[in-house]
Amino acid sequence: MKLRVIISLCSCVLVFVFLLGAGKRSSGPDYLEFKIPEGWPKPPTNIFTNNRLTEQGFQLGKKLFYDGRLSKDGNFPCASCHQQFGAFATYDHDFSHGFNNTLTIRNAPALFNLAWMTRYHWDGGINHIEVQPLAPLTAQNEMGEKIDSILRKLKKDPDYPKLFKAAFGTPEINSQRMLKALAQFTGSIVSSNSKYDKVQRGELSFTANEQKGYTLFKAKCAACHKEPLFTDNSFRNNGMAVNTFLNDYGRMRITNNKKDSLKFKVPSLRNIVLTFPYMHDGRFYSLGSAIDHYRTGIVTTQPTLDSLLLNRIAITNYEKNDLIYFLNTLTDTTMTRNPRFAQ
């Protein structure tokens, strides 16, 4: 009997060692599962269907994201405008700085929960996460570089061919692989651990002010800034006066449709404290002035103004304070300090 137990134990150990060895021998990538936070909706499309998420692909994407060589003069990695401590927006900047002393024409959007989006940019001009980087990489007022030049730089590097091999099986470096790796990194950034999330999960509770703010938020803001993503990812005109220097009419440029004049993507309010200044042109530097826009600033004569804003939004001074208390609970330092997303 005893012998049998020993034999079976030994064979178990042998099998285990064999499996371990087999795992090590295969040099294939380590597949990752994209986890949807509890209680969240499924993403409308799976951005990783044709770009299977792997540890090696994610790590390659991260290295690319932080690599200045993706820009013309080496000074503008993706991360120069998408800073982790600013929830991957540009902290404290209305417009971001680009190659050769230039400015962007819109406020850099925060990069998180991108897997739930089907359109990217303030005007929704980009229809797939993989092709989004082509815009900032090549724009003269952003990274200012050419794709073939970037690929030449990556091919000369001693490490990249190895990293592309680890992620994609062969050392070939091409635009498709570079873009897919970037999508694996940016698409993996999820923000789901703010105080608000902890309250939803029953781990913490709101203060009295936060709770009042939350109640108000649900009544007056949540139609567009829909929980749990705090955006419905739609395009709406929220009634801001046109900046006559920029003359930016938003989504109309993409659709050629007058009905889309002055419509911009509804941004998520997650991490809002970190993503100031606000709106597509960063015109409001404080939460208070952004809320005041909805209370008193909306230009109600614009024909495409969103129907929910025709009468502006009635919010008292007390309510405004409570709302700001609540918006402060949307900051997710688990994401902004996560070493996995850091350089």
Partner 1 sequence: MKNRLLLLPIFLAIAFTNSSYQKKITAKEKTGTLKITFINTVKGNPLQLNEASYTNPFAEQYTVSKFKYYVSNIAVAFPDGILTEKESYHLIDESKPESLSFSFYASVNTYHSLLFMLGVDSIKNVSGAQTGALDPLNDMFWTWNTGYVMAKMEGNSPQSTIVNSKVEFHIGGFSGADNVLKKLKLNFPAGQALEIRESKTSEIVIEADLDKWWQDPNDLKIANNALCTTPGSLAKKIADNYSKMFSIKNITNNQN
Interface residues with partner 1 (CB under 8 A) are 50-51, 125-131, 134-135, 137-139, 147-148, 151, 174-176, 179-180, 183, 253-254, 256
51/192 with CB nearer partner 1: 51
Please count the residues of the chain: 343
**Residue 97 pairs with which residues in a beta bridge?**
103
Cα separation, 252 vs 302, in Å, equals 14
227 in Cβ contact with 41 (< 8 Å): no
Name residue, tokens 């790590």: 59
**Which residues have C-beta within 8 Å of that of residue 302, sequence separation ≥ 6?**
237, 239, 261, 262
Between 184 and 329, name the residue whose CB sits nearer to partner 1: 184
Instruction: State which residue, 120 or 294, has the beta carbon closest to partner 1.
Output: 120
For tokens 């902290």, name the residue.
91
Cα(34)–Cα(288) distance, integer angstroms = 36
**Closest distance of CB 58 from partner 1, Å:** 16
Ramachandran class of 101: left when φ > 0, alpha when ψ lies in -120 to 50, beta otherwise: left
Closest separation in Å from C-beta 57 to partner 1: 13
Query: Smaller CB distance to partner 1: residue 175 or 338?
Result: 175
Report how far residue 65's alpha carbon sits from residue 342's, in angstroms, rounded to the nearest whole number: 10
> How far, in Å, CA of 318 to CA of 321, rounded?
5
- What is the closest distance, in whole angstroms, from the C-beta atom of residue 49 to partner 1 in the complex? 9
237, β-bridge pairs: 305
CB of 130 to partner 1, least distance (A): 3
Radius of gyration, CA atoms only, the chain? 23
- Secondary structure class of 320 (helix, strand, coil): helix
Q: Is 278 helix (H, G, I), strand (E, B) or coil?
A: strand
Judged by beta carbon, residue 147 or residue 199, the one nearer partner 1 is 147
Q: In the complex, what is the shortest distance from the CB of residue 34 to partner 1, in angstroms, rounded to a whole number? A: 16
Q: Between 174 and 334, name the residue whose CB sits nearer to partner 1.
A: 174
Indicate the SS3 state at residue 249.
Answer: coil
- Please identify, using beta-carbon distances, which residue of 166 and 181 lies nearer to partner 1: 181
The CB-of-176 to partner 1 minimum distance in angstroms stands at 4
Cβ of residue 148: shortest distance to partner 1, in angstroms? 6
